[in-house]
Amino acid sequence: MRVFVLGNANRQGVKEHAEQLLPFLSQHCEIVAFDLYQEKDLSSLTADVALVLGGDGAILRAARQMGYRQTPVLGVNLGKLGFLADLTPEELRQCFPQCVAGDFRVTHHLMLEATIETPQQKRTLLGLNEVLLHTGPSFHMIDLELCVDGEAVTRFSGDGLIVSTPIGSTAHSLSAGGPILGQELSAFVITPICPHTLTNRPVVDSADKVYTIALLSNSADPFLIVDGQEPIPITVEHRISVRRAPVAFGLVKVPGRSYYQTLRDKLRWGTHPNYRHEPPLQQ
């Protein structure tokens, strides 16, 4: 098996865990690229699996690095929650020989393209989680219009709007009141952020449609952010289109791990509330 070893060395513990795992991995596979600083161009390299050390943020980072030549990702969680990176280093050591023997499956997931266009220029960004349009300083409400396949759907004022993939439905969209989607669905979630109306609600619609967002006034200074990366200033001159990307994200699933098991573990579904008195926080 040929493997990329990727991650974010700026996160505490990632570099140390990677160095500890290298001798073990070298016994079982060929390491094609070892890059914890996102320095290598992977476009000319091929591998069977990309082993990503960190949390979900590290997986988003790896997906961007791989660009339009995606390699199935096996995530090792060294972060906090980890909906995508759900194996511990110890679990990786236990199951990796099975993976080398081919005892795993790959699930394929929707990625998005966000095109930011003005009369002068056009820019397209690849994303896995979501496109976020959010108010910036001075944090006044922004006025938005959303069109789907050219049809005007809604206008509202609020703090912003999220267009999320199923993978991203458990990220910012969930915190903003959006639903959890099955990870392999072909759909987008449109989630308003603090809309100044009680009638706007999250909507789930087909990923085969094009979602266009326009700013209706320059009363605030909003930013567009794809997968939590660089904020791009947006004005009334910009048109933002979100559509299905021509490439899919692959996620390695080992036997005994399912999406509902991950939701139960991470969101603590099925556990009883803890009504015990907790000591006050230390000042």
Q: Is 34's pLDDT higher than 70?
A: yes
* 11-24 mean pLDDT: 92
Average pLDDT over residues 162-179: 96
The C-alpha torsion from 129 through 135 and 138 to 140, rounded to 10°, is -150
Question: Biggest alpha carbon distance in the chain?
Answer: 60
Does residue 52 contact residue 21 with C-beta atoms inside 8 Å? no
- Distance of alpha carbon 55 from alpha carbon 73, whole angstroms: 12
Strand intervals (E) in 64-176: 73-77, 105-109, 112-117, 122-127, 130-134, 142-148, 151-158, 160-164
Contacts of 107 (CB under 8 A, 6+ apart): 183, 184, 250, 251, 253
Does the pLDDT of residue 274 top 80, yes or no? Answer: no
- Mean predicted confidence (pLDDT) in 267-282: 70
pLDDT score of 277 more than 70: no
Q: Which domains does the chain have, with CATH numbers?
A: 2-109+248-267 (3.40.50.10330), 112-244 (2.60.200.30)
**Annotated catalytic, 56?**
yes
Per-residue model confidence (pLDDT) at position 214: 96
CA–CA distance, 76 with 87 (Å, rounded to integer)? 5
- Per-residue model confidence (pLDDT) at position 197: 85
Position 160 scores a pLDDT of 95
Average pLDDT over residues 154-169: 96
Segment 190-213, tens digit of pLDDT: 999 999 988 889 999 999 999 999
Pick the more confident residue, 19 or 138.
19
Mean pLDDT of 50-59: 93
The whole-number average pLDDT for the span 89-102 is 93
* More confident: 82 or 130: 130
How far is Cα 134 from Cα 142, in angstroms, rounded to an integer? 8
Catalytic entry in 56, 86, 159, 227: 56
